Structure 1
Amino acid sequence: MNITTKWRIHLFAGLAERLGTRLLEVAFPEARLEAGEIKRRLAERYPEQADLIAVSFVARNQAFAADDAFVGREDELALLPPVSGGMPEEAENEAAARREADRYAILEDTLDTAAVLSAVSHPDHGAALLFVGTTREWTGGKRTVTLEYEAYLPMARAALKTIGEEIGERWPGTLCAIHHRIGTVGIGEASVLIAVSAPHRAGGYEASRYAIERLKMTVPIWKKEVYEDGTAWQGHQLGPWDPLATPDAEGGRR
């Protein structure tokens, strides 16, 4: 009886570009391995990319796995480099799912500020804030032509929802909606919208900042900057990438 030894590992952004594929099929005899061991073996196989592999994280079934966590050959695995009818109960569940989709979305189309603000509208809230992240033309003395975003879609949507849940726990009653664009985003165009509504403005400001910092740290969305003379994948630029780190009050690492 033939037993397959192939492990399938999805790749994204700069890692996929460097290795020339979005799906690695590698033969390991074991059926289960620690995530860190998989990274170590891939680094040996691709020594020129060892530094990038070392700071990447393994995802198992669309959730981050620590290096000492065991993953299986049959799991859905990805290596993520640094960088969301009829019965009444069924109808209610469907409506809840639609509301959630309205609040946490990854879109290829132009982002709609009215839609994301509407998703957090609440009659008892006295403050609504909207953060708009746009493409700037000049960064570090280099002229950007466009930005190109890609995402690990199901995991990214789940990560956006998690940010909203964290905000609800830290600032009870606060609502959050996050819409992120993928594909090509031109100069001056919005790549991310974050809307927050809260009973009082102080909590809204804090939650809004928390949301963007957590997005940069935990959501598997990558950005390629296209310059006049080349391209570069840009990480989150907040220090070593560790999406499993405990967030501080502002969404950074602790």
Structure 2
Amino acid sequence: MSTEWKIDLFAGLSERFGVRSLIIETAEQNMTAADLKNHLMASYPLQADILSISFLACNHAYAQADSIVNANDELALLPPVSGGQAEKPTEDEQKSSLEQWYMLTNEKITTEEVLAKVIVPEHGASLAFVGTTREWTKGQRTVRLEYEAYEPMAVKMMKQIGDELAEKWPGTLCAITHRLGVVDIAETSVVIAISSPHRASCYDASRYAIERLKQMVPIWKKEIWEDGSEWKGHQLGPWNPDTPLADFPDET
């Protein structure tokens, strides 16, 4: 008896295949993430190049090569990309917290609204990183950007960034809102708001947050030019979202 697997696709992968999901059949109900990718590359040899550099996500988390995945799991293939112990929150409280601090939206972003989430009396420093659509890059004119995300996993990964900041710079608060859909020239695509007791950690945490977002969060942008378009991912070299961010790469 064969087993049916469904793997969702995003951004350039979806465009390359011309579908939003791949349906394959195997004899196995369980296999490693590496074996599943190898099966896909064997089934679609013409797309093996992009499949080989994509990451498998299982139930909204990155799956390591030796991780066991099941045909009943929620699977997605992601191309390169953007005091005391409290009581454990309920699922509804966790969802509410994620929606408040880490958001994806098709509406225009107001910087002040995101920044207001992290301003608290005990913090003496706050700032907002605001990413906007740039018109010219290396002599090429961008008409607009189009953003797409694996939404439930993107929110989960943004929260992980906030957790990492709190561990590296204790007391730091973080809120992130990212646009989806069409973002025109000079419009805001992302706001990362940071607050901290002192300004030095506020600066450092803000830089870390935007680089980490570009490295690990499954958000992709499609650059639309006057004469073509291209999907862009994290653009930080070989893509491994599970690799700790050791230093800050230079931007061009």
TM beyond 0.5: yes
Counterpart Cα distance in 2 of 1:93 and 1:233: 35
Segments of 4+ moved more than 3 angstroms: 91-100, 249-252
Identity of aligned residues (%): 53
Q: Deviation of residue 100 (structure 1)?
A: 3.8
What amino acid does structure 1 have at the position aligned with 2:172? T
Residue in 2 aligned with 1:239? 237
Q: Quick one: structure 1 residues 47 and 4, their matched pair in 2 at CA, closer, same or farther if it must change by over 3 Å?
A: closer
Q: Quick one: structure 1 residues 251 and 139, their matched pair in 2 at CA, closer, same or farther if it must change by over 3 Å?
A: closer
Q: Please, which moves more after superposition, 37-46 or 201-210? A: 37-46
Q: Deviation of residue 11 (structure 1)?
A: 0.4
In structure 2, stretches of 5+ residues that fail to align are none
Residue in 2 aligned with 1:43? 41
Counterpart Cα distance in 2 of 1:100 and 1:222: 20
Residue in 2 aligned with 1:142? 140
In structure 1, stretches of 5+ residues that fail to align are none
Counterpart Cα distance in 2 of 1:142 and 1:58: 33
Residue in 1 aligned with 2:53? 55
Q: Please, which moves more after superposition, 137-146 or 150-159? A: 137-146
Residue in 2 aligned with 1:111? 109
2:207 counterpart SS class: helix
The within-5 A match list for 1:29-108 is: 29-83=27-81, 97-108=95-106
Q: Deviation of residue 140 (structure 1)?
A: 2.3
Counterpart Cα distance in 2 of 1:249 and 1:164: 18
What amino acid does structure 2 have at the position aligned with 1:165? D
TM-score relative to the length of structure 1: 0.91
What amino acid does structure 1 have at the position aligned with 2:159? K
Q: Deviation of residue 69 (structure 1)?
A: 1.1
> Contact 1:225 / 1:232 at 8 angstroms: preserved in 2?
yes
Residue in 1 aligned with 2:18? 20
Residues 128-157 of structure 1, C-alpha deviations (whole Å, 9 max, x = no match): 011000100111221110000000111001
The number of residues matched between the two structures is 246
TM-score relative to the length of structure 2: 0.92
Residue in 2 aligned with 1:123? 121
Counterpart Cα distance in 2 of 1:189 and 1:56: 29
What amino acid does structure 2 have at the position aligned with 1:236? H
Counterpart Cα distance in 2 of 1:182 and 1:152: 11
Q: Does 1:9 align with 2:7?
A: yes
**Cα RMSD, aligned residues only:** 2.2
